Amino acid sequence: MNLLAEEYEYLDPTPDVRSLFQEYDALFFDGLLQGCEIKWSPRMTLCAGLCSFQPATGFCSIRLSQPLLQLRPRSDLVNTLLHEMIHAFLFLHSPMRDHEDHGPQFQYHMHRINNLAQTRITVFHTFHDEVDTYRVHWWKCNGPCQRRPPYFGMVKRAMNRPPGPRDSWWTKHEQECGGTYTKVRDPPLKPRNAHKMERNVAKKVKIGSVERHQPSIAAFFPPHAPQPAQPPVKSMDSMASTDTTAMETPLEPATPLGSAQLCHRSRTAVHPPPTEIQPKDDDVVIIDLTSMSDSD
């Protein structure tokens, strides 16, 4: 059996990974990986493959890097897939808890499959050239570490995430170097993004020119139009305060009057004053002599 035969590169250069997974599971792992998930990852660019396991649920997943493997030979896909399938087998059916390294059990299955299928499974399957191709965001430090090998203060990443406290080495860098990272390289704009940016710029320029030539609505109104006077509106609080002030104003003492005067004032306030009647010649005038004698 030779899974890396040259004719496979021409007969099936881009095989279905799910079909390969089921075939290799039956050949090398007795069909014990049927519950494992296998899928492509369009964003994974640091390594060719990754196997993750959740002990609480027993869920196991294999992800293959689409950017790194889609342009590589078919043999690289086969070796990477078998490498991750060994990890999945140890996760699911090994009593060992530490599955991150490539210890004796991993190397046992690696050599077993290489001898059976003439494959070239290795401990590491990182493609340095392809990884560097996708690291298009570069930062450089202006501190002392820019003169130290092997990185010389350079940080290259596939995504636009600047170095910061989330990196495990950041604390050590702050203590030993203390420099500041500045971005020195960006990926070239794709044609679609470049055309979109040009359209946005042209749209903004057009909108700005229209706004400059469009008449303002203020031209249709006089510059200083008189405002109509509004009558003052009394609020309930001001009215209440006025009533309270009137109630609090002391009243002047009234002049004491007799009962006749009080009655007279009361009548004159309500009724009009009586008209004076002039006596006529025929009228008889009676004079009270008693009152006159008393007054004399």
pLDDT digits 0-9 by tens, 13-45: 888 999 999 999 999 999 999 889 999 988 877
Q: What does the pLDDT look like over 124-153, one tens digit per residue? A: 755 555 556 666 778 889 989 988 887 788
- Identify whether residues 47 and 90 lie together within a single domain: yes
d(CA 69, CA 86): 19
In DSSP terms, 191 is beta-bridged to none
Whole-number pLDDT of residue 214? 60
Q: 279 phi and psi, to 5 degrees?
A: -70, 150
Amino acid at 25: D
The per-residue pLDDT for range 192-249, each reduced to its tens digit, is: 665 666 677 677 666 655 555 566 666 666 666 556 566 665 555 555 555 555 455 5
Is 203 within a domain? no
List C-alpha distances in Å: 14 to 67, 129, 219: 14, 21, 70
Q: Name the residues annotated as catalytic.
A: 84
Question: Do 49 and 26 share a structural domain?
Answer: yes
CATH code for the domain in which residue 57 is found: 3.30.2010.10
Please tell me the distance from the alpha carbon of residue 146 to that of residue 139, in angstroms, as a whole number.
Answer: 11
| In contact, 71 and 48? CB cutoff 8 Å | no
Q: Give the residue carrying structure tokens 């009080």.
A: 262
Q: Are 23 and 89 members of one domain? A: yes
Pairwise pLDDT comparison (30 vs 68), residue with the higher score: 30
pLDDT of residue 81: 92
Are both 143 and 159 inside the same structural domain?
yes
Per-residue pLDDT band at 296 (split at 50, 70, 90): very low
What pTM was estimated for this model as a whole? 0.49
Angle between helices 74-93 and 104-117 (to 10 degrees): 140
Q: Measuring CA to CA, which residue among 158, 157, 177, 159 is closest to residue 169?
A: 177
Is the model's pLDDT at 91 over the cut of 50? yes
pLDDT at 198: 66
The reply to whether 106 and 153 lie within a common domain is no
CA atoms 210, 214, 217, 218: torsion sign:
positive
Last residue of a domain, one of 163, 185, 207: 185
Answer whether residue 273 is part of any domain. Answer: no
Identify whether residues 161 and 119 lie together within a single domain.
no
- Cβ neighbours for 261, distance < 8 A, ≥ 6 positions apart: none
169 with 73, same domain: the answer is no
Rounded alpha-carbon distances, angstroms, from residue 132 to 128, 129, 156, 169, 236: 6, 5, 8, 20, 78
Residues 42 and 105 in one domain: yes
Q: Say what the pLDDT of residue 112 is.
A: 93
For residues 14 and 63, state if they share a domain: yes
Position 103 scores a pLDDT of: 82
How far apart (Å, rounded) are the C-alpha atoms in residues 102 and 82? 14
Name the domain count of the chain.
2
pLDDT value of residue 55:
85
The pLDDT score that the predictor gives to residue 258 is 47
pLDDT range class, residue 261, cuts 50, 70, 90: very low
Q: HEC states along the chain? A: CCCCCCCHHHHCCCCCHHHHHHHHHHHHCCCCCCCCEEEEECCCCCCCEEEEEECCCCEEEEEEEHHHHCCCCHHHHHHHHHHHHHHHHHHHHCCCCCCCCCCHHHHHHHHHHHHHHCCCCCCCCCCHHHHHHHCCEEEEECCHHHHCCCCCCEEEECCCCCCCCCCCCHHHHHHHCCCCEEEEECCCCCHHHHHHHHHHHHHHHHHHHHHHHCCCHHHHCCCCCCCCCCCCCCCHHHHHHHHHHHHHCCCCCCCCCCHHHHHHHHHHHHCCCCCCCCCCCCCCCCCCHHHHHHHC
**Cβ proximity of 12 and 74 under 8 Å:** yes
For residue 95, name the pLDDT band (cuts at 50, 70, 90): confident
Higher pLDDT among residues 90 and 99, named by residue: 90
Mean pLDDT for the chain?
74
Mean pLDDT, rounded, for 61-87: 87
- Whether residue 121 sits in one domain with residue 165: no
Same-domain check for residues 171 and 91: no
Q: Is residue 275 part of a domain?
A: no
Range of the domain at 51: 8-127
